[in-house]
């Protein structure tokens, strides 16, 4: 079995393990039974993509509510339509369960569980290890195991492989193990699981070749690489690239503010250069499960290896300072109106971490709310995607936009959802702090940009 890597070399296997042709035959005949562990933003779109390609897919999740919803044919992920889930469930191609004993009948299993940071900013691999413990009980000849959760280089080789080999099964001979980073971008209408190229690296050349063949059944372009470590590092480079460049844009925003220059105008003009420049934009801070988290997996690993990831640490500091910078802008704008943050009513527009999603994980809105709350402001919010929010031990409810904007002392645009009526808000609000340049079409003194 041969497969060409991006480096141009062909990875060849001199002796094919008997389990490899059997697995290849199952993949090509689409009789392969697929398991996806973790049915979240990553796992559910992946499961439906393979089911749509004609494979029988079982989703395994600890969350009984998610399992029940899938079984009822309902989706809870914006990018996956309920109509599609119900069709696939009815056709017997998609099912979900909390019972991991079903792994015994699975030929290929994708691990798509969370990889958060601990409070100390160390990687929390407990979800991966729990999933691997389940697989380990059922690992069998001809099984393909693929980790998709973002993690530091070495996780697949150093943590997962020894566990799966504990029962005497040998990788590349009895079972096959790969890492394939997930690159899904929730709410992106142009790129989704099927048309985002899939990088895959295996522990052995057979593992890579079988992993690549597997993804080729459901994904338009597959990019094999020479090892699991390369595949793990690819994802961290991509997300570090974003974090560092956003950090630069955020530093530019702070510098421009000191110099009374409009950073948005600067970036738009710089972006007219047809080569050598790619625009990144400032904002209230990083959010979501990936960009604020993943680079710290790499810096942790660098420290463990006795070295340093200086760009990552610096970008983390600058990006982490943005909620404070936003609050300074609010303070200055209120002071100009002879008001203080204390006792002012401050209304946030958008609390999700990015446009048109319902995800508030790591959202900078939470930091802005907490800072304003500490300063004695009366805080409220509107978000068409987040009806309620746990904050500081209380429950906040999303408020009707028009009334809240008319009555607040200050409105802070944190997330530029497309559902907001920017014209109406611009006309009715008394003071607007715009952290996303969402009000670019309006020139009014009461609109303060980042």
Ligand X SMILES: NC(=O)c1ccc[n+]([C@@H]2O[C@H](COP(=O)([O-])OP(=O)(O)OC[C@H]3O[C@@H](n4cnc5c(N)ncnc54)[C@H](O)[C@@H]3O)[C@@H](O)[C@H]2O)c1
Q: How far is the CB of 112 from ligand X (least distance, A)?
A: 5
* Binding region for ligand X (CB under 6 A): 37-43, 60-63, 66, 112-115, 127, 130-131, 149-150, 182-184, 186, 289-290
Report, in Å, the least distance between residue 440 CB and ligand X. Answer: 27
Q: What are phi and psi of 202, to 5 degrees?
A: -110, 170
Cβ 415 to ligand X shortest distance, Å: 16
Q: What does the chain come to in residues? A: 450
Give me 64's structure tokens.
């009984």
Can you tell me the distance from the alpha carbon of 364 to that of 323, in angstroms, rounded to the nearest whole number?
6
Rounded to a whole number of angstroms, the minimum distance from the CB of residue 124 to ligand X is 10
Looking at the Cβ atoms of 238 and 373, the one nearer to ligand X is 238
Q: Does the annotation mark 290 as catalytic?
A: yes
Catalytic residue among 256, 290, 405, 410: 290
Give CA–CA dist 435/450, Å, rounded.
Answer: 5
Query: Which CB atom, from 256 or from 352, has the smaller least distance to ligand X?
Result: 352
The CB-of-2 to ligand X minimum distance in angstroms stands at 29
Q: Which is nearer to ligand X, 172 or 283 (CB)?
A: 283
Using the minimum distance from each CB to ligand X, give the nearer residue, 38 or 205: 38
The closest alpha carbon to 210, from 51, 53, 56, 17, belongs to 17
Mind spelling out the 3-state secondary structure of the chain?
CEEECCCCCEEECCCCCCHHHHHHHHHHHCCCEEEEECCCCCHHHHHHHHHHCCCEEEEECCCHHHHHHHHCCCCCCCCCCHHHHHHHHHCCCEEEECCHHHHHHCCEEEECCCCCECCCCCECCHHHHHHHHHHHHHCCCCEEEEECCCCCCCHHHHHHHHHHCCCCCCECCCEEEEECCCCCCCCCCCCCHHHCCEEEEECCHHHHHHHHHHHHCCCCCEEEECCHHHHHHHHHHHHHHHHHHHHHHHHHHHHHHHCCCCHHHHHHHHCCCCCCCCCCCCCCCCCCCCCCCHHHHHHHHHHHCCCCCHHHHHHHHHHHHHHHHHHHHHHHHHHHCCCCCCCCEEEEECCCCCCCCCCCCCCHHHHHHHHHHHCCCEEEEECCCCCEEEECCEEEECCCHHHHHHHCCEEEECCCCCCCCHHHHHHHCCCEEECCCCCCCCCCCCEEEC
Min dist CB 70 to ligand X, Å, is 11
Cβ closest to ligand X, residue 52 vs residue 289 = 289
Structure tokens at 175: 């079972």
Quote the least distance from Cβ 279 to ligand X, whole Å. 21
The residue whose Cβ lies closest to ligand X is 40
Cβ-proximal residues to 299 (8 Å cutoff; 6+ apart), any chain: 308, 309, 312, 313, 316
Quote the least distance from Cβ 156 to ligand X, whole Å: 13
Please, which residue, 131 or 315, has the CB nearer to ligand X? Answer: 131
Q: For ligand X, which is the closer residue by CB, 124 or 373?
A: 124
Give catalytic residue positions: 290
């Amino acid at each position: 079995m041969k497969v060409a890597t991006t480096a141009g070399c062909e990875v060849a296997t001199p002796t094919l393990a008997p389990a490899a042709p059997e697995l290849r035959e199952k993949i090509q005949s689409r009789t392969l039974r697929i398991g996806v562990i973790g049915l979240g933003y990553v796992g559910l779109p992946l499961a439906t993509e393979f089911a749509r390609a004609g494979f029988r897919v079982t989703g395994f999740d600890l969350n009984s509510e998610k399992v029940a919803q899938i079984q009822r044919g309902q989706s809870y992920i914006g990018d996956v339509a309920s109509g599609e889930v119900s069709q696939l469930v009815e056709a017997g191609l998609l099912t979900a369960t909390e019972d991991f004993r079903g792994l015994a009948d699975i030929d290929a299993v994708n691990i798509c569980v969370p990889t958060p940071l601990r409070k100390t900013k160390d990687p929390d691999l407990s979800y991966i290890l729990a999933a691997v413990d389940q697989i380990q009980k059922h690992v069998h000849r001809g099984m393909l195991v693929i980790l998709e959760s973002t993690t530091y280089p070495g996780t697949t080789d150093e943590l997962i492989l020894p566990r799966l080999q504990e029962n005497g099964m040998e990788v590349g001979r009895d079972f096959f193990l790969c890492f394939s980073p997930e690159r899904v971008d929730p709410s992106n209408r142009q790129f989704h699981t099927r048309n985002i190229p899939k990088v895959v690296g295996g522990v052995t050349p057979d593992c890579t070749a079988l992993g690549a063949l597997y993804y080729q059944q459901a994904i338009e372009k597959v990019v094999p690489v020479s090892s699991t470590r390369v595949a793990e590092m690819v994802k961290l480079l991509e997300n570090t690239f974003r974090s560092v460049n956003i950090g630069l844009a955020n530093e530019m925003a702070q510098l421009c503010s000191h110099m009374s220059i409009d950073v948005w105008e600067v970036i738009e003009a710089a972006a007219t250069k047809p080569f050598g420049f790619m625009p990144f934009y400032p904002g209230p801070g990083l959010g979501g499960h990936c960009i604020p988290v993943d680079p710290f997996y790499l810096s942790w690993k660098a420290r463990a290896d006795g070295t340093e990831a200086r760009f990552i640490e610096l970008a983390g500091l600058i990006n982490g300072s943005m909620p404070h910078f936003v609050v300074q802008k609010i303070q200055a704008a209120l002071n100009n109106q002879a008001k203080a943050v204390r006792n002012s009513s401050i209304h946030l527009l958008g609390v999700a971490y990015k446009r048109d999603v319902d995800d508030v994980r790591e959202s900078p809105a939470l930091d802005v709310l907490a800072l304003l709350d500490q300063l004695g402001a009366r805080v409220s919010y509107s978000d068409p995607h987040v009806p309620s929010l746990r904050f500081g031990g209380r429950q906040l409810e999303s408020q009707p936009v028009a009334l809240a904007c008319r009555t607040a002392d200050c409105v802070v645009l944190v997330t530029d959802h497309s559902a907001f009526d920017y014209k109406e808000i611009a006309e009715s609000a008394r003071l607007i702090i715009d952290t996303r340049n969402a009000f670019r079409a309006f020139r009014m003194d009461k609109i303060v940009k980042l």
